[in-house]
């Protein structure tokens, strides 16, 4: 069985599959279990209630979360995702961890998603994509 040597304050002993030459920099993702470099993005919705979009609509239409993940999977492999309902509607967000992404930046991903998706992707209410904000944030676990 493969082992992982833990080192306090330094990541150089850990085998890192990534696209960064700086292994000890703050916020660099140290990837030890996936075969290709990964990226983590946060997609924030300014308008719409994402809590109602975790399921399909009454007519079978895909909810906003499913719609966004399907659009992302056209250009990357979704390794994991997290939906954060937030304290207010303006704080609703989907965080995704991707591998093999063809997007060079968060802005490129945001531009592509806005172009590929309808202005409203809500199945159970309005969910606006024209004001959604995509940020490359690294991995941040919810508290």
Q: Is residue 80 located within the same domain as residue 131? A: yes
Is 142 inside any structural domain? no
* Co-location of 66 and 94 in the same domain: yes
Domain-located, residue 106: yes
Per-residue pLDDT reduced to its tens digit, 58-93: 899 999 999 999 999 999 999 999 988 766 666 688
CB atoms within 10 A of CB 121: 24
User: Has residue 79 been placed in a domain?
Assistant: yes
130 in any annotated domain: yes
Q: Could you list the pLDDT tens digit for every one of the 143 residues in the chain?
A: 555 555 545 555 555 555 555 555 556 666 666 777 788 999 988 777 788 888 898 899 999 999 999 999 999 999 999 988 766 666 688 999 998 888 989 999 999 999 999 889 989 888 889 888 999 887 765 54
Q: Are residues 118 and 53 in the same domain?
A: yes
- Considering the domain architecture, whether residues 25 and 65 belong to the same structural domain is answered as no
Q: How many CB atoms sit inside 10 A of residue 45's CB?
A: 25
141: in domain: no
CATH number at residue 83: 3.30.70
Report whether 100 contacts 77 (CB < 8 A).
Answer: yes
Q: Are residues 108 and 128 in the same domain?
A: yes
If asked whether residues 87 and 127 sit together in one domain, one would say yes
> Strand runs (DSSP E) across 85-142, as ranges?
93-99, 133-136
- The answer on 119 and 52 residing in a single domain is yes
Q: In whole numbers, what is the pLDDT of the chain averaged over residues? A: 79
What is the span of the domain harbouring residue 86? 38-136
Asked if residue 94 is part of any domain, the answer here is: yes
Where on the phi/psi map is residue 4: left (φ > 0), alpha (ψ -120 to 50), or beta?
beta
Tell me the CA distances in angstroms from 6 to 21, 29, 58, 92, one per residue in order: 20, 16, 50, 35
Task: Please count the structural domains in the chain.
Answer: 2
Give the per-residue pLDDT at 70. 95
CA dihedral 63, 66, 72, 75 (to 10 degrees): -120
């Amino acid at each position: 069985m493969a082992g992982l040597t833990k080192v306090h304050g330094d990541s150089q002993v850990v085998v890192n599959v990534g696209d960064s030459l700086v292994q000890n920099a703050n916020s660099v993702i140290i990837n030890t279990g996936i075969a290709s470099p990964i990226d983590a993005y946060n997609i924030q919705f300014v308008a719409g209630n994402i809590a109602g979009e975790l399921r399909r609509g009454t007519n079978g239409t895909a909810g906003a979360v499913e719609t966004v993940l399907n659009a992302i999977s056209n250009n990357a492999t979704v390794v994991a995702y997290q939906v954060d309902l937030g304290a207010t509607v303006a704080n609703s967000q989907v965080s995704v961890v991707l591998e093999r992404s063809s997007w060079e930046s968060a802005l490129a991903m945001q531009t592509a998603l806005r172009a590929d998706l309808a202005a409203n992707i809500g199945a159970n209410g309005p969910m606006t994509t024209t004001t959604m904000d995509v940020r490359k944030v690294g991995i941040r676990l919810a508290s």
